[in-house]
Structure 1
Amino acid sequence: MTSLSYLNDKDNFDATTDPAATESSQVERIVRAIAGGIAEGKLIADQRLPSIRAMAAEHRVSRDTVQRGYDKLVAGGHLYARRGAGFYVAAVPMPPVRDTTPRPTVDLEPFQLIHTSLPPDRCPGSGVLLHDDGSVDELHRIVKGVVASGQRLGGYGDPAGYLPLRQQLQNKLRIEGIDAPLPSILTVPGCVAGLTLVVRSFIRPRSLVLVEDPASFIHTTVLLAQGAEIMRVPREADGPDLDVLRLLCERYRPAMFLMTSVLHNPTGSSLSLPKARKLIEIAAEFDMMVVDDASYADLSHPAGARPVVPLAVLDQLDHVIHVGGSSHILAPDVGTGYVVAHERRMELLRLFRPAQGLGNMLIQERVLYRLLSNGLYRRRCERIRAMLAQRATAIRHALAEAGCTVAPAGGGLFLWADLGQDKSGVDVARRMLKHGFLTAPGSHFSPPKTDNSHMRFNVTTTTPAALAALAACL
């Protein structure tokens, strides 16, 4: 067993010199001493540390104190754990525990794709699904019916959400293959609110979280707002690069992987079944929480040449938290989101749930309930999928004629196009804006200050005029 005798040197950790020291201060002494030993070269890469029992006995502290100190060092990147084998010095030390590096700031520019004064036909980069008049009229009738039903207002409702709606969501999830007990389902004001609730519940400042590259700017914004550290896993045509994912898990032991299994934003790709199974195995091996943003899942064709299923179908909520919603099928201003998680995670989710809106969307929840209970939601999804497929085919052809390479996609709202190796997505976006069109360059979805030749197109707002302007700008 390796002895860390230097910890008893002057100015280093020695619990016996301070009998009145609190457990918290003893934990911090362990952290500072071991981190300092790594920085000074007294502890080398892959060196095994004493077991928790041996460390506690040698320095006359509790095992819990040592465990907490080791856990902090793992979270800080100084150590890594091997299941059943103990704790080891990490190969490349992370910055000191008391790091004063300025935190990254949230880039607000991509939010213009959601909040813009331009009309929809001028926003080929929009993130909002533009419905036809018939779908809008249908939704208006449902909303009017809910209001006219005499729904009594004035209370906060069920803290978990409208019970009949949650029962309908339970049925919907069961049809999709997710067996979720009713207490495992919470409603929230929308998918973004659901992601925010999950991150707020389980992530603390400086927690390491993995996201995909490219990824929705909503994912990074929610995490940065909570003070998380972000690392990226490249997204391939059939899902995240699992080799990179495993390396990051082995090296850093991230707390969470925030991703999209079905109709990824911005690429439109979906996770393949073999890769989904391996991802679940990695999550179980490293006890990593996987948050699956299923915002666009209802836009996916339920049947096809390649099976596409949400991760929760395979995992049954053991390590996966499923976040879904109706904002794209209905409209952002009347959509309702929901979070589905294992019962052991629900305590924290219920604790933070009131911060997402005490009123429980009394009208919106009942709108979705009516659509689900009378079968209108399913038929609405079918019409939207057919419309998206038809429009995507025409726009894909037009983009190819303009010299763009469009990534394969299994339906959904977006097409992910490569403008050409010699093209800058940011430069093209600026030229398009001068023509009066708001676009979504790839830099909105990759690390800050990273330019590339990609651009995301919304198939419901990309008009012939926008495509003609793009051809001119290219």
Structure 2
Amino acid sequence: MSVPLDQIPAPHDASSTTLVDQLVQWGRRRIEERVFRPGMRMPSIRKLALDKGVSRFTVVEAYERLVAQGYLDSRRGSGFYVRERLAAPMPGERRLAAVAAETTAPASSTLDVVWLLRNMLQTSMRPEKSPGHGFLPNRWLDGELITGALRTLGRQSGAQMLGIGTPLGFLPLRQQLQTKLEEREVGVSPEQIVLVSGITQAIDLIARIYVQPGDAVIVGDPAWFQMFGRFASQGARLLGMPYTPEGPDLDALETLVQTWRPKMLVINSVLQNPTGTSLTAAQAFRILRLAEEYDFIVVEDDVYGDLCPPGYPATRLASLDQLKRVIYLGSFSKTLAANLRVGFVACAPAVANAITDQKMLVGMTSPELNERVLYKILTEGHYRRHVERLRARLDGVRDKTARMLEKTGLRLFQSPGAGMFMWADTGVDSDGLAAAGHEAGFLLTPGSLFSPHQAPTTWMRFNIANCGDPALSAFLCRYLDGAARRAS
């Protein structure tokens, strides 16, 4: 999509800057935002001149200035490329690069998760413009559930809100979660449940306790990208377990554990992000057998569990293992509100003690006000119906989204019957597609972010709740048609 230069924000009045100045500012901002990433080829002089409505001389002059300022490299006969810069790496990036270099998997020099996080957390795009976003649109959620709980708490004595909380977390909520887990056939006492500020903190605490420099940690390839940097910052050797349309490749997993003797495996057992696959009972048993034989911990992330309808063919590892070797994680960020930040860890008593101790060292207690709000929501009887409505809405857009993606030429990894994500092969470098999408006003998630070594890929994740804009289909068709013409 063409972006006129008069729409490019400038630090001064546009009347006081030249077209070259504005184009330089545009290029610098895109590079600093990691839309154009190290090693990527910049748009050709001809294409950028057409897109911006300026002369080729203006583009050449702007590119040369970016070279002089250290943002680009000029390669004779090839074009201009984004230069690797040393500024402000994300925590764990350099260590991850070193770990990746020691493995046989392809790797890039940085883990550029910051690109997606910045855009997810700062974007003002409508949900329809954010098919790469990891949450359901606000209009699908029920803010009254939260405000109603807050009003109820507001009528109670303020004195109970003044304490620092307890190390394990708000006891009535842990008792309610005990009931919830029993419904999932996981037997647990309240003392085995530790409340945390979301899955991210749970992963952080587990990494601090169990992972030492050089330890092997197996993660999905693809999988949830944010945990990669956390384990890498502990000095872990990240190993990617590939996925098939039927779920994790367990033959590959067995080879990995035989070769590397890992400290742990981290896995979504239900509605895996991003593939949408779920474990069968046979797969779950085999994973637990390997964990027992090779003595590694299994961290089961069930953040999407409430989006899984009753009777759906999915097996939770914790229900088979009963928390002997499995550490089970849950959260409500996907179904209630992303900023409620209440998650939980269910595990063996000794593990709960270790996590609680680490939690206090890192941040004392978790916010009890949030935990009281969640407790009210879960006990007032409306949450179950709310989740049923979410599942119904996802069911209502799933086939439509699949048809749209396939019509544009994408190939689906598999057709999930539940959940919010689809993993699709675009047939082109998804980094370039995501960069072009950003220019066109869409937040897209390149598949390389889901690789533990940020390996280039043609795959991309789509949030089916955010794919309703007809302009998305038009953009994908236009970009892919152009890519096909350039290839020929």
Quick one: structure 1 residues 206 and 409, their matched pair in 2 at CA, closer, same or farther if it must change by over 3 Å? Answer: same
Q: Structure 1 residue 414: deviation in Å? A: 0.9
Q: Structure 1 residue 174: deviation in Å? A: 0.2
- The yes-or-no answer on 1:121 pairing with 2:114 is no
- The yes-or-no answer on 1:453 pairing with 2:453 is no
Could you tell me whether the CA contact under 8 Å between 2:145 and 2:377 is conserved in 1? Answer: no
Q: CA RMSD in A?
A: 2.1
Aligned to 1:409: 416
Paired residue type of 1:372: L
Paired residue type of 1:267: T
Deviates more, 1:194-203 or 1:460-469: 460-469
Could you tell me whether the CA contact under 8 Å between 1:114 and 1:128 is conserved in 2? Answer: no
Paired residue type of 1:466: L
1:439 to 429, 438, 444: 444
Quote the Cα distance in structure 1 between the aligned partners of 2:243 and 2:185: 25
Could you tell me whether the CA contact under 8 Å between 1:268 and 1:416 is conserved in 2? Answer: yes
Paired residue type of 1:376: H
Q: Structure 1 residue 136: deviation in Å? A: 2.3
Identity, % of aligned pairs? Answer: 33
Could you tell me whether the CA contact under 8 Å between 1:440 and 1:456 is conserved in 2? Answer: yes
Paired residue type of 2:196: V
Q: Structure 1 residue 355: deviation in Å? A: 4.1
Aligned to 1:388: 394
Could you tell me whether the CA contact under 8 Å between 1:188 and 1:356 is conserved in 2? Answer: no
Aligned to 1:147: 154
Aligned to 1:234: 242
TM-score by length of structure 1 reads 0.74
Deviates more, 1:348-357 or 1:166-175: 348-357
Alignment of 1:239-250 (within 5 A): 239-250=247-258
Aligned to 2:318: 312
Quote the Cα distance in structure 1 between the aligned partners of 2:280 and 2:216: 26
Could you tell me whether the CA contact under 8 Å between 1:185 and 1:339 is conserved in 2? Answer: yes
Could you tell me whether the CA contact under 8 Å between 1:124 and 1:458 is conserved in 2? Answer: yes
Quote the Cα distance in structure 1 between the aligned partners of 2:304 and 2:334: 7
Quick one: structure 1 residues 355 and 375, their matched pair in 2 at CA, closer, same or farther if it must change by over 3 Å? Answer: farther
Give the secondary structure class of the aligned counterpart of 1:149.
coil
Could you tell me whether the CA contact under 8 Å between 1:261 and 1:311 is conserved in 2? Answer: yes
Q: Provide, for residues 238-280 of structure 1, a one-character-per-residue CA deviation record: whole Å limited to 9, x for no partner.
A: 3221112111211221100111111111111111221111111
Q: Structure 1 residue 430: deviation in Å? A: 1.6
Aligned to 1:462: 467
Aligned to 2:379: 373
1:168 to 162, 167, 176: 176
Aligned to 1:339: 345
Deviates more, 1:335-344 or 1:164-173: 335-344
2:165 to 144, 157, 161: 157
Quote the Cα distance in structure 2 between the aligned partners of 1:298 and 1:357: 28
Aligned to 1:84: none
- The yes-or-no answer on 1:360 pairing with 2:361 is no
Quote the Cα distance in structure 2 between the aligned partners of 1:442 and 1:455: 4
Quote the Cα distance in structure 1 between the aligned partners of 2:132 and 2:433: 12
Q: Structure 1 residue 146: deviation in Å? A: 2.4
- The yes-or-no answer on 1:426 pairing with 2:434 is no
Could you tell me whether the CA contact under 8 Å between 1:262 and 1:308 is conserved in 2? Answer: yes
Q: Structure 1 residue 133: deviation in Å? A: 6.2
Matched pairs, number: 371
Alignment of 1:257-296 (within 5 A): 257-296=265-304
- Structure 1 residue runs of 5 or longer lacking an equivalent are 1-93, 96-101
TM-score by length of structure 2 reads 0.72
Give the secondary structure class of the aligned counterpart of 1:393.
helix
Give the secondary structure class of the aligned counterpart of 1:233.
strand
Could you tell me whether the CA contact under 8 Å between 1:292 and 1:321 is conserved in 2? Answer: yes
- Structure number with greater Rg is 1
Q: Structure 1 residue 362: deviation in Å? A: 1.6
Aligned to 2:209: 201
Deviates more, 1:283-292 or 1:218-227: 218-227
Aligned to 1:215: 223
Quick one: structure 1 residues 112 and 204, their matched pair in 2 at CA, closer, same or farther if it must change by over 3 Å? Answer: same
Paired residue type of 1:395: T
Q: Greater share of helix residues, 1 or 2?
A: 2
Runs of 4+ in 1 over 6 A off after TM superposition: none
Give the secondary structure class of the aligned counterpart of 1:460.
helix
